[in-house]
Amino acid sequence: MRTTKKTATIDPITFEVLKNRLWAINDEQANIALRTAGTLVVYEARDMNAAITDRDGRGMYLACYNNTMAATVQAGVKSILANFSKNFIKEGDMFLFNDPWEGAVHYNDFTMVAPVYFQGDLVAWTGVSMHEVDVGGQVPGSMYLLAKTAYEEPVIITTVKIVEGWEVQQDILRLVCRTSRVPQLLQLDVMARMSAIVTANKAIQGLVEKYGKETFLAFTDQLIEHIRESITDRLRKIPDGIWYEGDYVDHDGMSETVYPVKLAVTKKGDKLTFDFTGTSPQAPGFINCTLHGVHGQISVVLLAMLGYGLPYSVGALAHLYDVIIPESNLVNASFPAPVALGALGASWQVRQMVNTCIGKMMACSAELKDYALADYTSTWNGVIIAGLDNAYKEFTYVVMEPGGGGSGARTYKDGIDTGGPIDMPGQGIPDVESTEYNYPVLMLWRRESKDAFGPGQFRGGAGLEYALVPYKVGFAMLITVTAGQYQPGAMGICGGMPANCQFNGVLKNTKIWERIKAGEIPTDLGKLGGEMDIRPPKAMAPFAADEVLFAVRCGGGGYNDPLLRNPELVEKDVMEGLCSLEIARDIFGVIINPTTQKLDVTATKKMREEIIHTRIVEGKPVSEILANEKK
């Protein structure tokens, strides 16, 4: 594949100039795509990203939005290089795909990539990936709960050339957009990708022209090597060992089955091995993911936790880790297994466990302990509301509030409240006014939720809760596509505790519209009243105009024993509505006066002593439990 010989080393100043200039081009590339996109999911929630790879498809940069998505750009480019002849790939071409077996994490993530040429030579690739609201298939939002094979899922767009010689291929564009319930929005997003790629490609060509092709190619090799060496140096500060984690994906769309996911991370010298042995075989429903999802998730966690301060280069990780996964597995699905929920199902669970294992591993290094992170918020608490508004116009509303999950605790500070998932540092939540302008819903409230975090000396960031009601709707369906509902979804590390279960509930008999018409807008669950029907993690049911959707998102996992938390911080959390008096007392051992909301220092000391006493009296020796298990 390589067209020139190995290039020479360039001087440090030129290296730094090129590194930061290309980083800025990547940032601009992402922002062009954001500002020209057609959907709220992209231009406000920023469920997208942009990437630059070298000429061989080795990832060099990811912008700061959805990193899992962009990490798969590398896989897409490598697939193009492997499957198409050299003569088929030319300057001015752009390729599009959503094939989970060619690089996409799931069908909704359309990725476009393009080669960058300079004077006839391939010098780099650029790519943009975005989550599309709807890409066809049997249900709005394109995640069909009852699919048993990929053939019942949205159309698979295996890699197609959508732009040739800078000319949009009108037939391909029409075909792609025809698959969607919202073709105009999809077309806007496709064109936004093109704008971003044209901008980035021209900027890269300008850079190559200024510094010379040989210098630029030398730089790309040197950048990847520099990042690989930097991460390797950090790995060397960690002792050799094995770290374990286990988690679950609850509900496969058709049954309440809970699927275990297991991970053992072995660190030996400069190398990591991610062994998923023990993970469930492929599920009959749409929660499976392909190997690209696994590599994407491993990459984003490694780059976030061990690649801090460096460009996010997926290519630099190539020789740093191996993966062991059986075929036809929940996290290595074989075609034609259903995978429509891969990104929010098994793939996301992989990230949770990689996050926790790497967090535990880094906590064993004196030099890197302060960079360890507990698990971030569990999988997307997905909700899609679709139907006809009262003008009989079709709508598909993908609720983006789940972007407000809590970040994992740090070893010296709490996680960030509603800080979002670890792979989406630049993600946003749409403005409520934008949501209400674009979709037939009325948001009753949206706030950081009480007790939605993993306790610890440093707690996980708080997750978000919201309540909304259909507004001027003719007919609506509520589709839930979530996990982490039957069991807590974000784990703590080193004595920190897991965060909360997340869920979606529908409140009936609240007389909401009578109350709104009378001038009352309920702003919390207590004031709302009614009876709550907890929706299954995956379900589709009518959503009546007088019903209210109430959802709580998972917070981040905690770090260290909650009894070591500064009681004044617990008092502050109680006063800010983030922690209940009961959790303050039972988990943190902190007594807050219910009337004054002030800390009772003496009662707290006594309570903590009592909890320690209970632990020692009620705790059973693990050695005895293990001996009994052997019997």
Residues that bind another protein (CB under 8 A): 239-246, 248, 250, 258, 260, 360, 363-366, 369, 411, 449, 451-452, 455, 457, 485-488, 491-503, 505, 534, 552, 559-564, 580, 582-583, 587, 611-613, 615-616, 618-623, 625-626, 629
Q: Which is nearer to another protein, 376 or 439 (CB)?
A: 376
Dist. CA 350–CA 330, nearest whole Å: 10
Dist. CA 470–CA 477, nearest whole Å: 10
Query: 214, exposed or middle or buried, with CB in 10 Å at 0-12, 13-18, 19+?
Result: middle
Q: Which is nearer to another protein, 293 or 505 (CB)?
A: 505
DSSP symbol at 90: -
User: How far from the centroid of its chain's Cα atoms is residue 17's Cα?
Assistant: 31
Hunting for tokens 């706030």 — which residue is that?
447
Closest distance of CB 454 from another protein, Å: 9
Q: Which is nearer to another protein, 128 or 368 (CB)?
A: 368
DSSP 301-317: HHHHHHSTTS---GGGG
Whole-angstrom CA distances from 54 to 78, 117, 217, 425, 518 are 11, 11, 8, 24, 62
CB neighbour list of residue 524: distance below 8 Å, 6 or more residues apart: 445
Six token digits for residue 149: 């094979």
Six token digits for residue 296: 């994407």
Q: Which is nearer to another protein, 167 or 618 (CB)?
A: 618
Q: Which is nearer to another protein, 260 or 542 (CB)?
A: 260
Q: Which is nearer to another protein, 67 or 411 (CB)?
A: 411
Six token digits for residue 384: 């899609």
Dist. CA 254–CA 273, nearest whole Å: 33
Six token digits for residue 62: 């990811």
Closest distance of CB 550 from another protein, Å: 11
Q: Which is nearer to another protein, 171 or 624 (CB)?
A: 624
Closest distance of CB 296 from another protein, Å: 25
Three-state DSSP at 427 gives coil
Q: Which is nearer to another protein, 40 or 409 (CB)?
A: 409
CB neighbour list of residue 31: distance below 8 Å, 6 or more residues apart: 63
Write out the H or E segment, with its range, that includes residue 208: helix 183-211
Six token digits for residue 308: 């801090």
Beta strands in 208-298, from DSSP E residues, in sequence order: 241-250, 258-268, 271-275
Hunting for tokens 């997208």 — which residue is that?
48
Closest distance of CB 498 from another protein, Å: 5
Q: Which is nearer to another protein, 153 or 573 (CB)?
A: 573
Dist. CA 425–CA 63, nearest whole Å: 10
Q: What are phi and psi of 71, to 5 degrees?
A: -60, -25
Q: Which is nearer to another protein, 131 or 459 (CB)?
A: 459
Q: Is the peptide bond before 536 cis (omega within 30 degrees of 0)?
A: no
Q: Which is nearer to another protein, 121 or 586 (CB)?
A: 586
Closest distance of CB 530 from another protein, Å: 16
DSSP symbol at 464: E
Closest distance of CB 450 from another protein, Å: 8
Q: Which is nearer to another protein, 445 or 475 (CB)?
A: 445
Provide the residue count of the chain: 631
Closest distance of CB 562 from another protein, Å: 8
Looking at the DSSP bridge assignments, the partners of residue 446 are 466
